[in-house]
Amino acid sequence: MKFIVSSLKLLKSLQALSGVIGSKNTLPILDDFLFHLDENQLKITSSDLDVTMTVTLVPDMVEGTGEVTIPARLLLEIMKNFPDVPITVSVDNNTLAVELIAGEGRYKLAGHKSDEFPQLPVMADTAVWEIPADVLARGFEKTVFATGMDEIRPIMSGVLMEMTDSCLTFVATDAHKLVRYRRMDVKSENVASFIMPKKPINQLKSILATLADEPVRIEFNKTNASFVFGDYMLICRLIEGRYPNYDAVIPKQNPNQLTIDRQTFLSAIRRVAVFSSKATHQVRFRIAGQELTLTAEDIDFYNEAKERLTCSYEGDDMEIGFNSRFLQEMLGNFDSETVKIEMSAPNRAGIITPVENENEAEDLLMLLMPVMLN
């Protein structure tokens, strides 16, 4: 088999697929890309058993058909160093020897049999959604940072995607923080949901962001989901189980409401947090009148910081503590200039929402559990 393709086109495809390949694979074949040439199409696949991704290219010239796996790291290293030139890739179907020809350069490497490469799962009893790529990318971007790392509760290590007749909802939580992102402009008569693992989300996020409003076809059942868009297809194993009732933990009555400039607030928290305890990352909020005082201290090292900010506040004077790392993450994921923090009591969760919303179809809510004040 033999084909000619632009080096830049091939490199871009390989780089998109390389994120799937694990650093410590149990099977040596998973360190390879699978090349499948058939008629005028070249399909390249990478897999780690749980996530499989394929890109389809149309080469400038095709000769013969065949299948071979090529070591991914070696191929990527050589491809990165080519200028944008046509690359001729020829494979001996008997010995699986691979030769790359670019200008006056010839490069030989050993290919492997494709027999042991994982087969795509057969999907039965599936439901189908079509979601614009930019909506999917934004939903993942706004929520994936809030997923947990707890192996005992794998459900919390993924993002819940839920479609109803009123909206599409993305939810992520690690029990300390929760993010709910809704799109009112995407809905379906058939109510369905699944939990996406973090790795395929990160794999999809960057590629989807370049596709604007191109539709993504999502087909899923209880165990797997496939995403088809542009020249790509990704199939991943879903996290099985029942997602926690996230609506039940969002407090409905929050009489104390603080409105503040997001960037000023975030910068102040970053400065004060430097002096916080390395164990708790606690920052204390004292809110009185139209003034917010942020304080942090690390008793072990006699470090202390205090900063006053003006804000708009409605409610009773209160003191509450939050984990500054989580708060910085959350504030960094808002786009609005001003944010509102709604609170009810020092031992109840605080809710952060944007004050301005450029897209009326969006609804973003972040919840942060308080920390016990020292």
CATH number at residue 362: 3.10.150.10
Within 10 angstroms of residue 286's Cβ, the number of other Cβ atoms is: 15
Structural domain total, the chain: 3
Q: CA of 301: how far to CAs of 48, 277, 297, 317, in Å?
A: 46, 9, 9, 30
**Of 214, 241, 268, which closes a domain?**
241
Angle at which helices 324-332 and 262-273 cross, to 10°: 150
Phi and psi dihedrals of 118, rounded to 5? -55, 140
Q: For residue 35, which phi and psi values (nearest 5 degrees)?
A: -105, 125
pTM: 0.94
Q: Does the residue 70 lie in any domain? A: yes
Does 255 share its domain with 364? yes
State residue 24's pLDDT score.
87
Q: Are residues 207 and 281 in the same domain?
A: no
Whether 8 and 104 map to the same domain: the answer is yes
In a domain, 310, yes or no: yes
Largest CA distance in the chain: 81
Helices in 27-113 by DSSP H: which ranges? 72-80
Q: Which domain holds residue 55?
A: 2-110
Domain identity same for 212 and 308: no
Is 121 within a domain? no
Point out the domain boundary residue: 241, 263, 280: 241
How large is the angle between the packed helices 133-143 and 198-208, nearest 10 degrees?
A: 130
Residue 100 inside a domain? The answer is yes
Asked whether residue 284 falls in the same domain as residue 315, the answer is yes
Q: Can you give the C-alpha Rg of the chain in angstroms?
A: 25
Co-location of 158 and 76 in the same domain: no
- With b for 16 or more beta-carbon neighbours within 10 A and e for fewer, the 249-259 pattern comes to eeeeebebebe
- Residue of 207, 127, 201, 208 whose CA lies nearest to 158: 201
């040439």: which residue's tokens?
37
Residue at 219 is within a domain: yes
Provide the 8-state DSSP code for 123.
P
Within a domain: 178 = no
The closest alpha carbon to 22, from 13, 32, 12, belongs to 32
236 and 266 inside one domain: no
Q: Is residue 118 part of a domain?
A: no
Q: DSSP assignment of 273-303, as one string?
A: HTTS-TTT-EEEEEEETTEEEEEEEEGGGTE
Euclidean distance between CA atoms 34 and 6, whole angstroms: 18
Please tell me whether residues 256 and 352 are part of one structural domain: yes
Asked if residue 117 belongs to a domain, the reply is: no
Burial of 247 per CB tally in 10 Å (0-12, 13-18, 19+) = exposed
Looking at 110, 142, 159, which one is the last position of a domain?
A: 110
The pLDDT value recorded for residue 369 is 97
Q: Which residue has the tokens 């897999």?
A: 47
228-283 pLDDT, tens digit each: 999 999 999 999 999 999 999 999 999 999 999 999 999 999 999 999 999 999 99
Q: Are 27 and 51 found together in one domain?
A: yes
Cross-sheet strand order for the sheet of 177-183: 192-197, 158-163, 168-173, 177-183, 362-368, 350-354, 338-343, 256-261, 312-314
Q: Are residues 100 and 135 in the same domain?
A: no
Distances (CA, A) of 82 to 7, 10, 101: 7, 11, 11
pLDDT tens sequence across 120-143: 999 999 999 999 999 999 999 999
Examine the domain organization and report whether 131 and 202 are in the same domain.
yes
Query: Residues in the chain with pLDDT < 50?
Result: none
Please check whether residues 294 and 214 belong to one and the same domain.
no
